Amino acid sequence: MFSFDFLFVQVLNGVGYGLLIFLLAAGLTLIFGMMDVINLAHGSFYMVGAYVGFSMVSRTHNFWLALVVAPIVVGAVGLVIETGLLRRLYRRVQLDQVILTFGLAYMATDIVKWIWGPDVRSIDPPAGMDGGTDVLGNFYPTYRLAVIGIGIVIALLLWFLQRRTRIGSIIRAGVADKEMVSGLGINVGLVFSGVFVFGAALAALSGVVAGPILGLYQGMDSDTLIIALIVVVVGGLGTLTGAFWGGLLIGIADTFGKVLIPEFSLFLTFAVMVVVLLVRPTGLFGRRLA
Amino acid sequence: MADAVQGSIGHLAEPTAPEAPVLEDIRKPWPARIRPGYLAILIVLLVFPFISTGYPLTVLTEVLIFGLFAMSLDVILGYAGMPSFGHAAFFGLGAYGTAVLAAKLGQSNLAVTLSVTLALTAVLALIIGALAIRTSGVYFLMITLAFAQMVYAAATKWTPLTGGSNGLPGVRRPTIFIPGIETTDPKAFYLFVVVVFALSFFVLHRLVNSPFGRSLVGIRENEVRMRAMGYGVQRYKLAAFVVGAMFGGVAGLLWATFNSFISPPDVYWTQSGTVLLMVLLGGSGTLVGPVLGAAFFQVLELVLSSKTEHWQIVLGAVFVIFIMFVRRGLMGIWAQFLSLRRGHA
């Protein structure tokens, strides 16, 4: 049972899934790090992105176009939410922001059901990627390999943005000390909007990428949100590095759990989280509490 | 609140100041002014089934069960200031515990189901609480959420015991050893719920106004100071968490027996979010507020779902508007109204 091929294929599956949830958790963790907001509508951004992508692909049969359009649409929605609603609540207690995004998530579930109906759907993988490829003697779906590729590319892009650009250094500084950054003459409000829109767009992107593998169904927003929250908690709130390693750890744990102990795979994910929190209450890469 | 404090300071300086009754209110654990009001409400609740039955009675039963659920969270959130996003875990454990006893073991004696519910929720709350109180704020929120999802996972996956995603039907109404009382009758079951609700309210009201309850408020307002004063802050927090959880479990017991059925959606994280919303809609840290919030939520949901297919959109929008524009919930509006009438505005 534990042959090399078996382990290899499962690790590939786990890495692919881990990178997908990294994309989700990245937006969530950035929004938290920047604005101290736990965005419970993050799963809804993912869901809406997936459904917009589904509509695009079924009309134009162009997956790559959907991959561009869905993040733009959802990013625009994010902009409206941040400037119209969330911005007014930054000075309030955190729970008010949590509840606001909970209310929005509530609405999103029903709006999506209204527009796209309750049926289970799936996005067709892009042309030429619906088959399989030989990887070290194993037949492996080409699209899943592409997902790993997309995930790695975006991870590198995010790393570059954060470490090597001016915007990245502003965001890192903002996570560390907002007052100081605004004292230096940087428009923090604009940075907040930017981070929120970017996070929303990233969630939408992962919705489209995940569409051909995980499918579109009612409740996908909640399921996704919970997984992303676990990744963020395991990795440490507000750190991209944490989201990356947390995503891979949870992705691989979940994949092996589903294969080896299908009845208890959900527990395995939570068990990983509990163990991490027992050892480090603020996550693997989180700053320690004062 | 600020008005009341100012009033009391004025009173201390001048014993004959007209603000004297305000100080009276603060000092008495159970304000004499309100007690007749509570009694009147209790009498109305007890008389209600003899005036109206059928649908309104069903609605009121639901309101009371969720009122108890919201009230139990208020001890944790409103008084001790711990933002628990996993309260559905205890609701679910109480519900499933009762359901398994009734459906699998044929045991529906109230004394047994209640003891089992209280014991189970207390143990689970001790475990979750001990881990969660090591953190605070958002981490507390996420850890409680994650644990509640574990309970949800157990409910969906432990099929032999819980019936999996199909749920567990055949949860019999509790038997109480008083001759002539049969809780299968909606009227009798409603009265049973009223009694449980009233007793719980009484206990919790005494609790939050006791020295213990005031210490919790102290921890909520300034934890560092309370620690410096020598309070075992962690023990207080854990105790509040366990007490809140146990009453949440009782609400779950009532819910499972009310529907004669329990299924995983009742334990899902959205249920934790809903009850949190009820507390905030009504006004946290007031005990009465969360009950109002629960009533508001349940009635609004019923009205909207009878009017439109897309009631969830409207309901969500109402929440958003409420959070944006109404501070401190329904009780906040009430307090503002009172202070306007007193001319303090």
Residue boundaries of the structural domains of chain B: 34-342
How many other CB atoms sit within 10 Å of the CB of residue B321?
12
Which residues of chain A are under the pLDDT cut of 70?
A: 1, 288-290
Which of B324, B326, B327 to mutate: most A Cβ within 10 Å?
Answer: B324
Q: Which of A105, A232, A270 is opposite residue B150, by nearest beta carbon?
A: A270
Of all residues in chain B, the percent with pLDDT exceeding 90 is: 32
Digit-coded pLDDT (tens) for B222-267: 889 998 998 989 999 999 999 999 999 999 999 998 888 888 889 9
Q: What is the pLDDT of residue B69?
A: 96
Could you read off the pLDDT of B246-255 as tens digits, one per residue? Answer: 999 999 999 9
Domain ranges of chain A: 4-279
* DSSP line for B295-310: HHHHHHHHHHHHH-TT
Give residue B17's pLDDT.
Answer: 40
Q: In which band, very low, low, confident or very high, does the pLDDT at B75 lie, cut at 50, 70 and 90?
A: very high
Amino acid identity at A74: V
pLDDT of residue B19: 42
Task: Give me the sign of the Cα torsion angle A269, A270, A275, A277.
Answer: positive
Q: Band of the pLDDT at B308, cuts 50, 70, 90?
A: confident
For an interface test with A, the pick among B156, B162, B320, B325 (most A C-beta atoms closer than 10 Å) comes out as: B320
How far is the C-alpha of A27 from the C-alpha of A202, rounded, in Å?
6
For position B27, what pLDDT does the model report?
Answer: 45
Residue of A nearest to B273 (CA): A102
B319 with A102: Cβ contact below 8 A: yes
Chain A residues within 8 angstroms (CB to CB) of chain B = 32, 36, 38, 40, 85, 88-89, 94-96, 98-100, 102-111, 114, 222, 226, 229-230, 232-233, 237, 263-264, 266-267, 270, 273-274, 277-278, 281-282, 289
- Angle between the N-to-C axes of helices B288-307 and B311-325, in degrees from 0 to 180, rounded to the nearest 10: 140
CB contact under 8 A, B276 and A281: no
Output the pLDDT for position B16: 42
pTM: 0.85
Q: Is the pLDDT of residue B57 over 90?
A: no
CA A97 to chain B, closest CA, distance in angstroms equals 8
| pLDDT on residue B177 | 59
- Residue B145 and residue B153 in contact, taking contact as beta carbons nearer than 8 Å: no
Are the Cβ atoms of B146 and A289 closer than 8 angstroms? no
Put simply, the answer to whether A281 touches B135 (Cβ < 8 Å) is yes
| Residue in B82, B138, B263 to test binding to A, most A beta-carbons within 10 Å | B138
d(CA A195, CA A174): 11
pLDDT of residue A262: 78
Residue B23 pLDDT greater than 60, yes or no: no
Q: Could you tell me the sign of the dihedral formed by the alpha carbons of B235, B120, B151, A275, in that order?
A: positive
pLDDT in tens, B99-150: 888 888 877 778 888 899 999 999 999 999 998 888 888 888 888 988 898 8
Fold of the CATH domain A4-279:
ABC transporter involved in vitamin B12 uptake, BtuC (1.10.3470)
d(CA B278, CA B319): 10
Region B5-17 average pLDDT: 39
Decide if pLDDT at B77 tops 70: yes
Cβ contact A230–B312 (<8 Å): no
The DSSP element (H or E) to which A138 belongs, if any, is: strand A138-141
At B334 the pLDDT is 81
- How far B218 CA sits from the closest chain A CA (Å)? 18
Residue B307 has pLDDT above 60, yes or no: yes
User: What's the confidence (pLDDT) of residue A288?
Assistant: 58
Lowest mean pLDDT among B90-99, B138-147, B215-224: B138-147
Question: What's the mean per-residue pLDDT of chain B?
Answer: 83
Tokens of B210: 């006791």
Domain B34-342, CATH class in plain words: mainly alpha
User: Closest partner residue to B142 among A103, A111, A229, by Cβ?
Assistant: A229
Q: Do B145 and A226 touch (CB under 8 A)?
A: yes
> Do the Cβ atoms of B141 and A98 come within 8 Å?
yes
| pLDDT of amino acid B25 | 44
Contacts across the A-B interface (CB distance below 8 Å): 112
Angle between helices A4-35 and A42-60 (to 10 degrees): 120
Give the chain B residue whose CA is nearest to the CA of A93: B137
